[in-house]
Amino acid sequence: MQKTLVTVVIPTRNRPELLKRAIASVLAQTCDLIEIVVVIDGSDDATHAALRAMANERLRFILLREKRGRFRRA
């Protein structure tokens, strides 16, 4: 049986403590093939620091240079 990679996308901005809890929750799952992609909505030094402290090969991030906020339907 082939295993499937699960990608968890976490959008965030200025909530490093909540982000750390969310990442820890994902990493605690029993599934071995999980990757976490954190999308940082604009410049956020506290979030960068939190991610550096949680270095893990399954964790990566994407920085949006400008704050875009949540998606809004037209």
Per-residue pLDDT tens over the stretch 23-67: 999 999 988 899 999 999 887 888 888 888 888 899 998 888 777
Decide if pLDDT at 8 tops 90: yes
Angle between helices 16-27 and 45-53 (to 10 degrees): 30
Q: How many domains does the chain have?
A: 1
11-20 per-position pLDDT tens digit: 998 999 999 9
The structure tokens 């339907």 sit at 73
The residue segments making up the domain with residue 15 are 6-64
Question: What's the pTM?
Answer: 0.81
Tell me: pLDDT of 73 over 60: no
**What does the pLDDT read at residue 19?**
94
Looking at residue 1, what is its pLDDT?
67
The answer to whether residue 41 is domain-embedded is yes
Q: Is residue 1 part of a domain?
A: no
**What 8-state DSSP symbol labels residue 62?**
E
Tell me, yes or no, whether 13 lies in a domain: yes
